[in-house]
Amino acid sequence: MRAKIIAVFTVVVLVVGVLAFALTRASLNPGSPRADAARALVAAEAVLRVQAGEVERWLEAQAADPKVREPFSAGTGQARSDGATSVANGIKSATSKTPAIAGLGPSLVAIVDAKGTALGRDGSPFLRGDDLGGIYPALRAGLTEGRAGSDVWVTPARNEQLLVSWAPIRGENGQVLGGLLLGTALGDGRLTDVANQTSGATLWFEVKDKDGYRIVAQSKGGAPDLASAIDPKQLEAGAASALSTGQAVDVAALPPDFGVKVGPLGGYGDGKRALLVAVARANAPAATTLLFPFLGAIALGIVLVAIAGHILGQSIMRPVEEIEEGLLAIMNGRTDLRFQIEHPELGGLVSRLNSLLSQLLGVSEDETGAPPPAMAIRGKDAEDALAVDESLAKDQAPGGEAAALGAEDEAAYHARIFDDYIRAKKSVGDPVDHITRDAFIARIVASEKQMAQKHGKPVRYKVEVRGKEVVLLAVPLG
C-alpha cells in the first residue's frame, strides 16, 4: 500500500514538474531581437538629443554674460584672440560647477566670429584663425541664422572627434557677433554611459566621410562576436538607406538571434552624416539554466512524497494489520475477542465487523452497543481470553463464600480480583505485561452481567489456579 501511494504521487510530482518547466520555458520567450534593437536605438538617440539640448541652453546662458562680448571690442587681432582665450578658460572652469555638463567630458571651449573663424580656445593658442565655419557648415549656418545648435565633428586629419554645441554671442543691439562653442567627448566611454542609461544594448557610432562609412565609437560590454555576426556590406547598405530616407532601418545579421537597427542621429547638424547603430541579442536563459532548479524542486517533491506516503500508509496499514491478526486469533479459537480500534476512516468498519462476529458466533451485544464480554485486543499485545468456570452458578446455592464476596465493596472487589489474577498468571509463568487494569475490570463487569442474565442471579468471580491454567470461578450471590 505504501509503495503504491508513493509511486502514484511520484508520477504526479514528475508530471507537474515537467509541465511547470515547459510552461516557464515558454513564458521566457526571448522576444524579438529586432524590436529590442529598435527600442535601444530610439532610447539612445533620445538621450543624446537631450544632452545636446542641455548644453545648448547652458551655452546660451553663458553667452548672455557681457564679459563674453568683450573680446570682440578689442582693438587688435592679437588682443581679440587673447581675450577669447581668457573667456574660454573661464567658461571651461564653469563647466566643472555644472554636473550635467561636467559629466559629458568637456574637452573644448572656443569663441568664433560671426563667420565661424576661431578667435581662441581654452588652454591653448592653437585653433586661432581656423575657418571652423567652412569645415563644419552647420556651425556657419547656425550663426548666420542666430540660433544655437549642435553638430558632430569627426575629422581625423584635425584629430577631432567631438559632439559640439554652440550658442550665438550677440551685441548690445542684438546683432550676432560670433559664437560660444563647447565640445564634449565622443568615444567608447560616452556610448557606454548612454547604453547603461537606456537599454544596455550594444551601441555603435558611425559617420560618413570620403572613404565611406566608419565606426568611430562603440559601447563596451557587448558580445565579442558581434563584429563577425554582422555583414559589413549589409551594415553599409543599411546606413546609406537610413541617411537617404531619414528613417531607421533593419540590418541583416547572422546568426538570426541578433537584431541590428541603424538610424540617423537627429539633433546634430543636418542629420545626414552621423548614425547610431543598436545591436540586440536574444537573451533568454538556456534550458539547462532553468533545468537544474526544476530538477532540484522535483527531487525535493519526491522525497516529501515518500515521507508523506510512508506516514499515510502507516496510518492505514496499522489498523488493517491489527484486524488481520485479530481475525486469525478468532479463527484459532479465541471467539471472545473483539476489536477496539479508534480510526477516523476505519472506525465504522471495525464496529460493523464486531457486530458481524457477534451474530456469527451467537453472542448478543448489550444495549449500549458495546462489544460482548471479551477482552479487547490490540495487535500482538492482545489479552488472553478469560477462562470462566460457571459450574457453581449452575449447581450450588450461595454459601458463606458468596456472602463474603457480596459484602465486599465493588471497587475493592475489582482491585483485589485484578491483583489476584495477575499473581495467578505470574505463578504459572504466563506473561501479564499486556493486561491492563481498566480493560480487565471492564471485561469482568461485562462477563458478570452476561452470567447474571444467563443464570438469573448475580455472580462474582474468584481466581483459582488449576495446574497451568488460571480460571475465574463464578460464584452466585443469591
**Least confident span in 35-44, 145-154, 334-343, 432-441:** 334-343
Residue 256 or residue 471, greater confidence: 471
Q: What is the mean pLDDT of residues 175-193?
A: 93
| Cβ pair 48, 194 in contact under 8 A | yes
DSSP E strands in 311-391: the ranges are: 338-339, 376-377, 388-389
Laid out side by side, the sheet with 160-170 consists of 118-121, 106-113, 176-185, 160-170, 149-155
pLDDT at 140: 94
Model pLDDT for residues 100-154, shown as the tens digit of each residue? 899 998 999 999 999 999 999 999 888 999 999 999 999 999 999 999 999 999 9
**Least confident span in 100-114, 377-391, 463-477:** 377-391
pLDDT at 393: 63
pLDDT at 331: 74
pLDDT at 399: 62
Residue 116 or residue 287, greater confidence: 116
Is the pLDDT at 439 greater than 90? The verdict is no
Distances (CA, A) of 158 to 119, 216, 218, 423: 17, 15, 21, 120
Respond yes or no on whether the N-terminal peptide bond of residue 30 is cis (omega within 30° of 0).
no
Residue 357 or residue 84, greater confidence: 84
Backbone angles phi, psi at 106, to 5 degrees: -60, 130
pLDDT at 375: 38
Question: Which pTM does this prediction carry?
Answer: 0.56
Is the pLDDT at 30 greater than 90? The verdict is no
Q: Provide the sign of the torsion angle of the four alpha carbons 119, 121, 123, 126, taken in this order.
A: negative
Residue 364, classed as helix, strand or coil, is coil
Is the pLDDT at 286 greater than 70? The verdict is no
Task: Give the single-character DSSP code of 334.
Answer: -
